[in-house]
């Protein structure tokens, strides 16, 4: 039965009872830490800025608290949920509402570009921790990328995405992400906003597209170069890249771009990596 305006705010106790009724014992492997705090939900929806009739792709809708809030804001929603019991419950709960499509499947594999079928879309997700970097990586390499991502992530992952060069948290995923998106760490959220509470803090992150991004066919080769560069952080970058690029091309790039011969992967900014990639493609 299609219900409107009745789902949220669900109290924490209602969510726990719903999970019991569905026989869902929260699984660590599936990152099943369900949101039970209306304030955090409001912050996520405000950060997502849903527009009426705009399409939102939600990964891991779980009990559907974010899904309902997005529908109430007037969005169309496609939600991909791995857990068959939750997917079935969401289908039943939203039966008759043509604005929502529930897809049961693994968001690491589902062809989400076919699902959105050429439409412009945003992504909103309280991501399962184990697969968050795979899912972010899939969005980066997509032809039709989200026009905005609002993600609730493990704090360490959020800090990694938002890091700047010369930091321990700055790594290949940082560079690959920031080559395509501006990343803003909106807020740290404590474990108490979830049931069950995870061991660590989480954070809300928004990602908005950069004006000049790599063409889609270059995103993967760029990522491969960056991953190789970070594969052994203590080694000189030029040495690591020599397994994939010629010595003369690297020497030329290093002298054109004024890089230090001893530079390690974390010393280059995202723009440095983009310039290096362009130089090595010539």
Please name the residues in contact with 279: beta carbons below 8 A apart, sequence gap of 6 or more.
249, 252, 253, 256, 257
Least separation in angstroms between residue 110's CB and ligand SAM is: 7
Q: Does 157 bind ligand SAM (CB under 6 A)?
A: no
Q: Does 223 bind ligand SAM (CB under 6 A)?
A: no
* Long-range contacts, 22-25 (Cβ 8 Å, 24+): 22/85, 22/86, 22/89, 23/85, 24/83, 24/85, 24/86
Q: Which residues of 110-148 are buried (b: 16+ CB within 10 A; e: fewer)?
A: bebeebbeeeebbbbbbbbbebbbebbbbbbeeebbbeb
Q: Does 240 bind ligand SAM (CB under 6 A)?
A: no
Among 35, 151, 207, 225, binds ligand SAM (CB under 6 A): 35
Asked if residue 15 lies in contact with residue 63, where contact means CB atoms within 8 angstroms, the answer is: yes
Least separation in angstroms between residue 223's CB and ligand SAM is: 21
Closest CB to ligand SAM: residue number = 60
Among 19, 31, 136, 177, binds ligand SAM (CB under 6 A): 31
Query: Kind and range of the H or E element at 143?
Result: none
Mask: binding to ligand SAM, 90-129, rule CB under 6 A, as x and -? ----------------xxx-----------------x-x-
Asked if residue 63 lies in contact with residue 83, where contact means CB atoms within 8 angstroms, the answer is: no
**Identity of the residue, 107 or 237, whose beta carbon is nearer to ligand SAM in the bound complex:** 107
Among 30, 183, 265, 276, binds ligand SAM (CB under 6 A): 30
Q: Which residues are near ligand SAM by CB under 6 A? A: 30-35, 59-63, 65-66, 80-83, 86, 106-108, 126, 128, 131
């Amino acid at each position: 039965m299609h219900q409107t305006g009745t789902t949220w705010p669900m109290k924490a106790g209602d969510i726990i009872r719903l999970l019991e009724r569905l026989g869902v014992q929260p699984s660590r492997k599936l990152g099943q830490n369900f949101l039970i705090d209306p304030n955090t939900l409001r912050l996520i929806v405000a950060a997502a800025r849903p527009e009426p009739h705009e399409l939102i792709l939600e990964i891991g809708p779980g009990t559907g608290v974010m899904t309902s809030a997005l529908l109430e804001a007037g969005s169309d929603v496609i939600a991909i949920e791995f857990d068959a019991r939750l997917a079935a419950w969401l289908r039943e709960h939203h039966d008759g509402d043509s604005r929502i499509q529930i897809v049961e499947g693994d968001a690491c594999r589902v062809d989400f570009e076919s699902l959105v079928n050429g439409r412009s879309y945003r992504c909103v997700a309280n991501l399962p921790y184990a697969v968050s970097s795979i899912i972010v990586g899939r969005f980066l390499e997509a032809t039709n990328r989200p026009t905005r991502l609002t993600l609730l992530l493990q704090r360490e992952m959020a800090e990694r995405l938002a890091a700047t060069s010369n930091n321990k948290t700055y790594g290949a995923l940082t560079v690959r992400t920031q080559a395509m998106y501006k990343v803003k760490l909106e807020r740290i959220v404590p474990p108490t906003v979830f049931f069950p509470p995870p061991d660590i803090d989480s954070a809300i992150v928004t990602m908005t597209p950069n004006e000049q991004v790599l063409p889609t066919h270059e995103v993967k080769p760029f990522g491969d170069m960056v991953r190789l560069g970070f594969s052994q952080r203590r080694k000189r970058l030029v040495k690591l890249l020599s397994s994939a690029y010629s010595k003369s091309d690297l020497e030329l790039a290093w002298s054109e771009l004024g890089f230090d011969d001893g530079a390690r992967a974390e010393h280059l900014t995202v723009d440095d990596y983009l310039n290096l990639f362009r130089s090595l493609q010539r």
